[in-house]
Structure 1
Amino acid sequence: MPAPFVLELCGFREGRPNTSDKKDPLSQELGRAFFELLGVPQDKSAPKTVDREWSAAMVADLAKQIALAAPHLGVRAERRLGEFEQYAHLNALKALAEDASPAVATALIRLERATHSVGVEPAQLVDELKEALAVADGRRRALVDLLGDESPLRLDVAVDRSVPSTPTDAPDVPNHLVAGFSLKWTLRTDRLQDPRTQGAKMATMRRGRMPHFAAVTMEPRPYMLGRLGRGTGDLDCVYHLALSPLIEAVQAVLTKNKDRIRQRDMFMRMVEQRRLLDYDDLVAYVATL
């Protein structure tokens, strides 16, 4: 079944579905058939900020649907990987890059005052300390510049739980990330790389178990869905917000020539191989984590 909130996000923009590429006639033809099966009124305008509204709606719906089966899980939007247990070490570089000079300057002033009060000449000692600290700070900055500050993209939706082995009185212990989702309402060539990059970095940078990671989309074109979901290994799968109506639309529209039939067959293989799954499958799986 389509996601409960999907109709709120669907609409038309300049006469075409907001899932369709204005430069792609097939995308528009397939999008109209898709929206007709979904029951989207032709006079319904598309939301102006679909990504933001989608994220909020999905977090609320997913939290509600898993509340009974998995009350230990939290569902949150827009989270950095460094907030979670497996990736907390990513914050180490940020801590290293923090400038300690104000605290050092304050300590030097206090030292100068203390040595002066006991009759010790502070100038040479303070100068030597400043020189040593400047050398140390130069080395630290060179190391930070060498490492860079590259970090993974934010998770559009994150599902986490507390760490069972952590004492209840332990302060500031990050939660364990069990699932993360990259939300892409539609797919374009430049947007395809984001989920793949995120998945690859999550696998490489983790310390511990890899969270379930997948893309979620409303893209109707089999070609674009195939480019994202056919076996790169960076994603566990691709979830679609309205897979059943899309299957009907694909089977109705992609029949006129060999190229369309090839796309239809590729799409159906993705469904059969469970590379492309429904939103209901997302909810059911998260509830088991």
Structure 2
Amino acid sequence: MPSIADVSNRPSREIATSVVAKIGKTKSYAEKPAGQTAGSMFETACQNFIDDCFKQLLHLRPGAFEVAKGQAIAQFDQYAHLEELRILSDKNKELRTLLGSDYLIKPDVVVLRHPEPDASINRNRLLVDDTVARKTALREANGVKPTLHASVSCKLTIRSDRVQNTRSEALNLVRNRKGRLPHIVAVTAEPAPSRIASIAMGTGDMDCVYNFALPELVETLREQERETLELVETMIDGQRLRDIADLPLDLVI
């Protein structure tokens, strides 16, 4: 049984089995990895995929980009003020109670852009010096932190009790930023269309949701004559759901 299937849900089992068969060669384990272990493995797979692809697309989006795991958003230029809030709240119990800790987000995978040295900016002609552009996050000389280019939430599977975590993290990224909003996306291997829809449907929370095998999923739903095919097609036509192959190119924009 594929690890992405909900063993207590027959449609999930049937869809997952067909999708995995269409993918082709897969890796089997003597024992199914624990939930957190499997989730971490999926995050690493997503990180490696984005990193490998981004390196091939630098001619479309030049810059000192890095793809990483486990980095809190306060480490980035748009959210550096959140670290100051944390320090103040640690010293003040009333302030800590008022603010809570929901804003202290650590995305599964991030794409960050390091600031550029002036020599790189001035490569073709003199554009910046000590008298201009003293606040931009692109200049290394301004002593700024890296810019958060993209936040990627990685969900091997989707369960109803965890859906709101993804949405709340996205909304916190939107509300708490100072400066440019990063790409906010989710990647999942969930086979059940209704569960994918719980994250993908609607507007404003995130840019888009990406499925790890969307063509195989659509083909499976069509072959099995599932009513949920219409739901998936609605999400695709509404630009709420795309295949993982679209993600690196979308992040270049």
Bin of the TM-score, shorter chain as denominator length? 0.7 to 0.9
SS in 1 for 2:151: strand
- 1:217 and 2:217 matched: no
- 1:64 pairs, out of 47, 52, 58, with 52
Q: Give the AA of the match of 1:156.
A: D
- 1:37 and 2:22 matched: yes
The alpha carbon displacement at 1:68 in A equals 3.9
Preserved contact between residue 93 and residue 149 of structure 1 (Cα < 8 Å): no
Preserved contact between residue 214 and residue 235 of structure 1 (Cα < 8 Å): yes
The alpha carbon displacement at 1:276 in A equals 0.8
- Residue 132 of structure 2 corresponds to none
Quick one: distance in 2 between partners of 1:142 and 1:274?
A: 43
How many equivalent residue pairs?
226
- Residue 90 of structure 1 corresponds to 82
SS in 2 for 1:29: helix
Quick one: distance in 2 between partners of 1:230 and 1:64?
A: 29
Quick one: distance in 2 between partners of 1:40 and 1:20?
A: 17
- 1:271 and 2:223 matched: no
Higher-Rg structure is 1
Quick check: which one's helix share is greater? 1
SS in 2 for 1:191: helix
Per-residue CA deviation, residues 65-99 of structure 1 (Å, 9 max, x unaligned), is: 21142352111111211111111111112221455
SS in 1 for 2:190: coil
Preserved contact between residue 208 and residue 240 of structure 2 (Cα < 8 Å): yes
- Residue 221 of structure 2 corresponds to 250
Structure 2, unpaired ranges of 5+: 117-135
Question: 186-195 or 44-53, which moves further after superposition?
Answer: 44-53
- 1:198 pairs, out of 169, 179, 183, with 169
- 1:231 pairs, out of 192, 202, 211, with 202
RMSD: 2.2
Structure 1, unpaired ranges of 5+: 1-15, 100-139
Name segments (4+ residues, structure 1) moved above 6 Å. none
Preserved contact between residue 195 and residue 235 of structure 1 (Cα < 8 Å): no
The alpha carbon displacement at 1:203 in A equals 0.8
Quick one: distance in 2 between partners of 1:210 and 1:168?
A: 20
Query: TM-score normalised to the size of structure 1?
Result: 0.71
Preserved contact between residue 185 and residue 219 of structure 1 (Cα < 8 Å): yes
Q: Give the AA of the match of 1:64.
A: D
Quick one: distance in 2 between partners of 1:47 and 1:238?
A: 25
SS in 2 for 1:155: coil
Identity across matched positions, percent: 29
The alpha carbon displacement at 1:63 in A equals 1.5
The alpha-carbon distance between structure 1 residues 168 and 39, as it changes in their structure 2 partners (threshold 3 A), is: closer
- Residue 126 of structure 2 corresponds to none
The alpha carbon displacement at 1:151 in A equals 2.6
Quick one: distance in 2 between partners of 1:265 and 1:213?
A: 25
The alpha-carbon distance between structure 1 residues 32 and 94, as it changes in their structure 2 partners (threshold 3 A), is: same
Query: TM-score normalised to the size of structure 2?
Result: 0.81
The alpha carbon displacement at 1:29 in A equals 1.1
Preserved contact between residue 93 and residue 144 of structure 1 (Cα < 8 Å): no
- The structure showing larger relative contact order (alpha-carbon pairs under 8 Å, at least 6 residues apart) is 1
- Residue 146 of structure 1 corresponds to 98
The alpha carbon displacement at 1:41 in A equals 5.9
The alpha carbon displacement at 1:198 in A equals 0.8
- Residue 128 of structure 1 corresponds to none
- Residue 53 of structure 1 corresponds to 41
